[in-house]
Structure 1
Amino acid sequence: MSDAADKNVLDDEQITEALAELPGWAHTEGALTFTAKCESAEAAIGLFDKIAAAAENANHHPDVLWSYNEITVDLSSHDVGGVTQRDTRLAKTISGLAEAAGAQVYDGQD
């Protein structure tokens, strides 16, 4: 699935367009960021496992933080220093996994 476009850093306009198709994701500090709130710690661990498997399958490894029932993902292509199409593809996959797990997009407020 990898191609030359995966090495091109997206500009702000391209990232804004991508975010329109990625509800709950934001562009912060050079990465795409998403937090999902699960029913329980066990559900969050299950989602973490699925994200890890998807990342490994894509040969793309995001920063993932597990905190009780929350999973936060930061996606960027470290090899090129920014967000690429590789990141937007994995973000779509992660969104689907979170939705299938019944997780809610978390905005930092209870």
Structure 2
Amino acid sequence: MAELLTDAEVDTALTGLPQWQRAGSEIVRTIELPTFPAAIALVDRVAEAAETRNHHPDIDIRWRTVTFTCSTHFKGGLTELDVALAQEIDRLAAG
């Protein structure tokens, strides 16, 4: 079972996730894509990865802008699951 990360562990993890910011008990990244279909395609790729991991981000889509929010809700904060999902979102966004 995933354990909550300490503040120091979150800070350390964020050094490897420079496009993510902490917002309380969540980490957040906003990505602007060139078109609305490109934004939806990224969301589709992230959805598949999240389903495979059984760990899902909150996703907000506004035209070409997608915001991903990661938190382990059943734990009430951030766990290694969120860091790993953020890393995967970064990988998918770069590809």
TM-score by length of 2: 0.96
Q: How many residues align?
A: 95
Structure 1: distance between partners of 2:16 and 2:44: 24
Give the share of equivalent positions with the same residue, in percent.
36
| Counterpart selection for 2:54 from 40, 53, 59 | 59
Cα deviations by residue, 1:34-91 (Å, 9 ceiling, x for unpaired): 0111001010000010111111011001100111001101100011100000000010
The residue aligned with 2:29 is 34
The 1-side partners of 2:75 and 2:42 are apart by: 27
Q: Distance in 1 between matches of 2:56 and 2:67?
A: 13
Structure 2 unaligned regions, length at least 5: none
Q: Distance in 2 between matches of 1:49 and 1:23?
A: 23
CA distance in 1, matches of 2:30, 2:46: 12
Please state if 1:82 is matched with 2:56.
no
Equivalent in the alignment of 2:42: 47
The reply to whether residue 69 of structure 1 matches residue 69 of structure 2 is no
The TM-score, its normalising length taken from structure 1, stands at 0.84
Q: Per the alignment, in what secondary structure is the counterpart of residue 18 of structure 1? A: helix
| 1:20 corresponding residue in structure 2 | 15
- Runs of 4+ aligned structure 1 residues displaced above 3 Å come to none
Unaligned runs of 5+ in 1: 101-110
CA distance in 2, matches of 1:97, 1:50: 7
- AA aligned to 1:75 is C
